[in-house]
Amino acid sequence: MVRYIFVTGGVVSSLGKGIAAASLGSILERRGLKVTMMKLDPYLNVDPGTMSPFQHGEVFVTEDGAETDLDLGHYERFIGFTASKLNNLTCGQVYSNVIRKERQGEYLGATVQVIPHITNEIKAGVRAAGKGFDIAIVEVGGTVGDIESLPFMEAIRQMGVEEGDNALFMHLTLVPYLAAAGELKTKPTQHSVKELRSIGIQPDVLLCRSERALPETERRKIALFTNVKEEAVIPVVDLDNIYKIPLWLHSQKLDQIVADKLRLKDLPEATLVGWKEVVNIMEFPEEEVIVAMVGKYMDLTESYKSLNEALSHAGVQTCSKVIIRYVDAEKLEVEGTETLEDVDAILVPGGFGKRGIEGKIIAAKYARENDIPYLGICLGMQIAVIEFARHCASLSDANSTEFKQDTPHPVIGLITEWMNESGDVETRDIDSDMGGTMRLGGQKCKLLEGSLAKKTYNTEEIVERHRHRYEFNNHYRDLLVDKGLVLSGESQDGSLVEMIELPNHPWYLACQFHPEFTSRPCKGHPLFTGFVTAALTHRKAKGKPSL
């Protein structure tokens, strides 16, 4: 029997519903329960794949190839399950499904309405995601009162009635501190719960975000005016590390409150030793390294959320503090490499579009020529190939057809542009939606014996998640290999290059896939751990001081 925990938010957005929900899931998992998580997103996009990173932040890719909300990254990092396309349901998907069914006659001529057709579609999606689990934690995006989230709110209200004691509502809200008055104000929380109750949902638990400790008097006031038990009004103070949140919520007995409400008896105590070790290493690192991340979304670091976390996890594995220096690739084109001179490693992340490309090529060249550890991810591998082709293989005009369609040396291109029987370049002629030509999700990769990639992973075959259109052009394989480029990873059938490296460099590795999606705080990803280890070695070789 599945128990459902519905998580909503009020007052303002960006309070951290995803992290709070994932933290609760982590504690419940450590009490012996099988937990899954789901995000309901009110926007009309079918998925975030076509949305600007400045609007939405990172697009998280699941093992089965779904482009989803970045909160699914938190879910996977905090609890031990692998998300799928079932774990993110958008308003766009819901309406698309309902309209398709109406066009195919599945509603037998009925007038299609928000209630019951849209809400039934939402409930069916929630139940499909929760099937086979003890606990399904369902986060509703947006803020209570938003008009676009009303169908989702109505759907979870109905599920609350249908599931009875097997459903729990948890509401995350803000208790702001007014410096002029010197007080924490509970009125926004009261109004938020009033709004929630007006649509038929009575929260069982309140998580009250505040920058200061919530006094007992204010806690009692919130309980009185919101009809929530006082012990279920849980203060959530601002913390400097998201991995402290499971420890904090456990100290506030949230998991026991949830267990009691959902009638979960005889559960073992939560074992949070792993979280404590992670937090302790982050609090007291033995060394530090500076990693330059050269990208074009530097004004919104949420665009690289999983990447930032993967570097942090590698720091845990190496007992070091990883300091990320965000470098705008466009500025490198104008200002030169001075900002890279004191870094211990360089990372070029994924991305789309030609803006900042030459700056990224400058960064890859600087890393290659100065023996600085380099990690290229997705676009970062394509950049490394272009840079090598230009400066080591005498193909001065080498480029990707993404950035220059008529380049004489398309070392990177769409498969349709270079894979044909005659070897001639084909023009792109694909009739599909934007993103329809992408290679998405987990795919197998064979590693070359004796390569740095093989040594780093310590296995012959890996599965990593992809999100890209453009590939290494096989017509340039022999030429680039003859000039010294090592193709250290290939697709299972050998048709696609997945990893490249340089043999006469301390640590220079790049991949087509996104390893950051599978990094975990208690078990860092080998590529990032190897990269940070190389950065530490480089730092010591340069005589830089430790902490």
Dump the DSSP string for 434-475: TTTT-EEEEEEEEEPTTSHHHHHHTSSEEEEEEEES-EE-GG
pLDDT-based confidence at 182, cuts 50/70/90?
confident
pLDDT at 219 over 90: yes
pLDDT at 544: 83
pLDDT in tens, 437-474: 688 999 999 999 999 999 999 999 999 999 999 999 99
pLDDT at 428 over 80: no
Which of 250, 468, 514, 525 is catalytic? The answer is: 514
pLDDT in tens, 160-173: 999 999 999 999 99
Range scoring the smallest mean pLDDT among 10-14, 47-51, 364-368: 47-51
pLDDT-based confidence at 300, cuts 50/70/90?
low
pLDDT at 431: 40
Which of 378, 387, 417, 466 is catalytic? The answer is: 378
pLDDT in tens, 58-98: 899 999 999 998 899 999 999 988 999 999 999 999 999 99
pLDDT at 269 over 90: yes
Q: Which two tokens stand for residue 347?
A: 């990372």
pLDDT at 353: 84
pLDDT in tens, 468-510: 999 999 999 999 999 999 999 999 999 999 999 999 999 999 9
pLDDT-based confidence at 435, cuts 50/70/90?
very low
Percent of the chain with pLDDT over 70: 94
pLDDT at 423: 45
Cβ proximity of 15 and 173 under 8 Å = yes
pTM: 0.92
Cβ proximity of 57 and 299 under 8 Å = no
Cβ proximity of 203 and 228 under 8 Å = yes
Cβ proximity of 45 and 67 under 8 Å = no
**Does 283 participate in catalysis according to the annotation?**
no
pLDDT in tens, 327-365: 999 999 999 999 999 999 999 999 888 889 999 999 999
Percent of the chain with pLDDT over 90: 82
Length of the chain in residues, anyone? 547
pLDDT at 377: 97
C-alpha distances in Å from residue 520, one per residue of 241, 267, 306, 490, 529:
15, 25, 10, 25, 11
**Does 514 participate in catalysis according to the annotation?**
yes
Cα–Cα distance between 522 and 516 in angstroms, integer? 14
Which of 76, 121, 490, 516 is catalytic? The answer is: 516
Residue 458: partners with Cβ closer than 8 Å, 6 or more residues away: 526
The arithmetic mean of pLDDT across residues 246-274, rounded, is: 95
Start-to-end C-alpha separation, the chain: 51
Cα–Cα distance between 269 and 246 in angstroms, integer? 14
Q: Where are the alpha helices (DSSP H) in 336-447?
A: 357-369, 379-392, 415-418
pLDDT at 425 over 70: no
Mean pLDDT of the chain: 92
pLDDT-based confidence at 14, cuts 50/70/90?
confident
**Does 525 participate in catalysis according to the annotation?**
no
